[in-house]
Structure 1
Amino acid sequence: MNALNPYTTFVQQFFTSYGCSVVEQSDSHFKVQLTNEMDEEIMNRPFYWHYMKKMNREGDPMQLTFTDTDQKTNQGIYLHAGTPKLHTLYNTAIKKARTARLYEVIHQPDHNKAMSPWLVVNALLHYRGKQAKDEPISIGLNLIHGTMTLRMMERIQNIDFETKVSDYTFPMTPVITLASAYKRIEKHVENYIASKNNEWAIESLRHLDQEKQLLESFYQSEDIGLESFTKEREQIDTRYKPYIDMEVINGGLFYISQETSASWING
């Protein structure tokens, strides 16, 4: 499936993180086998699972198929900003894993190895206006020297982590505080947004002005009263006034070997 689709990347990483296997995959779709726990979490079958538990039976978790095209011939859940199941996964990720402290697994080091602390923040940028879209971002910041790297989840997805430090390794004490690191990440996101094409916001404001002018003409011609005019004016602002909001999904402190860290920085 198209790896450039950010929703595809998130969904695949989400299910892999919770032990669900991809059982079928092509350039345009992939199928996931849910675990019992994940089926119960996201598939809204409370009576089924209550019955299975009551009867002391294993249950039969479902499979989900996702696609990156909305063509009618393709079966599956079309992944885009408004996909209801996608937002279910966002909410589940928030509930199950908002923060973490993990250590890269180091097998049989020949000497004591220092582990660099990285603050990792995964977030969604919500673009709202005439049209709406969500953009997932993942940023890592090294708490020793302040180096920042993007697409952090892609970088660490193939690294083994544990909740305890491997033998003969030791975590370095951060030089940069978490509060300062988070502010740096926020500033980077602000600069990133400012650098992007803002035609969508201009178009939203243009449409907002047109809607307000149309409403004003109705009011002046006495087709609607003051109360209706006021309420409709507020609703127009809510629907079309452009804004961008950053929602932090989860994050954590990841201790990563200096060799791995250097490969990102120098690569």
Structure 2
Amino acid sequence: MNTVNPYKTFVKQFFLSYGCSIIDDLPSHFTIQLTSEMDEEIMNRPFYWHYMKKMNREGDPMRLTFTDTDQKQAGGIYLHAGTPKLHTLYNTAIKKGRTARLYEVIHEFTAQNRAMSPWLIVNALLHYRGKQTKDEPISIGINLIHGTMMLGMMEKIQHMDFEPTVSDYTFPMTPVISLSNAYKRMERHIETYIAQQDNQWIKESLLHLKQETQLLESFYESEDIDLDSFTKEREQIDNRYKPYIEMEVINGGMFYISQETSATWIH
């Protein structure tokens, strides 16, 4: 059974947000045409771009192809939790835009001004660490009027039009829920989400931690290693196998969404 690569949405949205284009989009792979600015930002070609600027030339930005397979003959960049280019994008996203305030573009006007509901949307990475490691992107939003919370917010807004100024004949509603209170609610919601996931990896990590610790203790008891070596190795075993989950916030923002769109999401 095929599963959806969880990193596709983030990567596509990242590049589209910075003016790049998707020139090939298939189930097995997709190709991005970089802009000059994005090529200079992430492709590590400082000498090339310095030369282009000195020569007053536009330069030739590269293309990137991402795949769902690690088969080398398939070509492209295998998109998974450990992909170096994926972490480059995470760092670039953090550096270029941690916060935003955007308004849904409204083209249809009514006799009365239309109210825009405030949503706090946060994108984060859940770092699962233990015997096996993975990073899970998560996008969560909360309506600051009535407190409705949803996951998968980037998928909901990625095809919508936003501007940094409010559209004519609309007005932003004043939040009822404070940002600090909203963020605390988000944290609790994510904790509930994590608790509902399969925790088999935690059991396996704890079992492996116990086995490795017992083996190390047997070496120490038989005097094969000294106390200093035992202490250092025990610390390394804990670092490798002790399971924990950490949330890293990538970015977030206030999005003012029409009540019609908000109602569609909720219902």
TM-score per shorter chain, which class? Answer: over 0.9
Given the alignment of the two structures, is residue 20 of structure 1 paired with residue 20 of structure 2, yes or no?
A: yes
Which amino acid letter does the alignment assign opposite residue 228 of structure 2?
A: E
Given the alignment of the two structures, is residue 190 of structure 1 paired with residue 191 of structure 2, yes or no?
A: yes
Mapped partners of 2:255, 2:102: distance in 1 = 5
Mapped partners of 1:184, 1:57: distance in 2 = 51
TM-score (norm 2): 0.97
Corresponding residue number in structure 2 for 1:118: 119
Corresponding residue number in structure 2 for 1:234: 235
Given the alignment of the two structures, is residue 161 of structure 1 paired with residue 154 of structure 2, yes or no?
A: no
Corresponding residue number in structure 2 for 1:45: 45
Please report how far the alpha carbon of residue 54 of structure 1 lies from its aligned counterpart in structure 2 after TM superposition. 1.3
C-alpha contact (below 8 Å) 1:143/1:175 kept by paired residues:
yes
Corresponding residue number in structure 1 for 2:9: 9
- Number of corresponding residues: 265
Please report how far the alpha carbon of residue 3 of structure 1 lies from its aligned counterpart in structure 2 after TM superposition. 8.3
Aligned to 2:73, what secondary structure does the other structure show? coil
Mapped partners of 2:68, 2:151: distance in 1 = 23
What CA deviation, in whole Å up to 9, does each residue of 1:204-255 have, x standing for no partner? 0110111111111222222222111111110110011000001111000000
**Residues 68, 45 of structure 1: CA spacing in aligned structure 2 closer, same or farther, 3 A cutoff?**
same
Given the alignment of the two structures, is residue 246 of structure 1 paired with residue 264 of structure 2, yes or no?
A: no
Q: What does residue range 137-216 of structure 1 map to in structure 2 within 5 Å?
A: 137-216=138-217
Aligned to 2:74, what secondary structure does the other structure show? coil
Which amino acid letter does the alignment assign opposite residue 93 of structure 1?
A: A
Mapped partners of 1:170, 1:132: distance in 2 = 45
Given the alignment of the two structures, is residue 95 of structure 1 paired with residue 89 of structure 2, yes or no?
A: no
Mapped partners of 1:88, 1:60: distance in 2 = 21
Which amino acid letter does the alignment assign opposite residue 175 of structure 1?
A: V
Please report how far the alpha carbon of residue 69 of structure 1 lies from its aligned counterpart in structure 2 after TM superposition. 1.1
What CA deviation, in whole Å up to 9, does each residue of 1:135-171 have, x standing for no partner? 1111111000111122101111111100001111100
C-alpha contact (below 8 Å) 1:8/1:68 kept by paired residues:
no
Mapped partners of 2:88, 2:3: distance in 1 = 21
Aligned to 2:127, what secondary structure does the other structure show? strand
Please report how far the alpha carbon of residue 108 of structure 1 lies from its aligned counterpart in structure 2 after TM superposition. 4.4
Please report how far the alpha carbon of residue 56 of structure 1 lies from its aligned counterpart in structure 2 after TM superposition. 1.1
Please report how far the alpha carbon of residue 72 of structure 1 lies from its aligned counterpart in structure 2 after TM superposition. 3.0
Given the alignment of the two structures, is residue 77 of structure 1 paired with residue 71 of structure 2, yes or no?
A: no
**Residues 185, 163 of structure 1: CA spacing in aligned structure 2 closer, same or farther, 3 A cutoff?**
same
Mapped partners of 2:28, 2:175: distance in 1 = 43
Mapped partners of 2:150, 2:203: distance in 1 = 30
Mapped partners of 2:131, 2:108: distance in 1 = 56
Task: Provide the aligned C-alpha RMSD in A.
Answer: 1.2
Q: Percent identity?
A: 78
Which amino acid letter does the alignment assign opposite residue 107 of structure 1?
A: H
Please report how far the alpha carbon of residue 73 of structure 1 lies from its aligned counterpart in structure 2 after TM superposition. 2.5
Structure 2 gaps of 5+ residues are: none
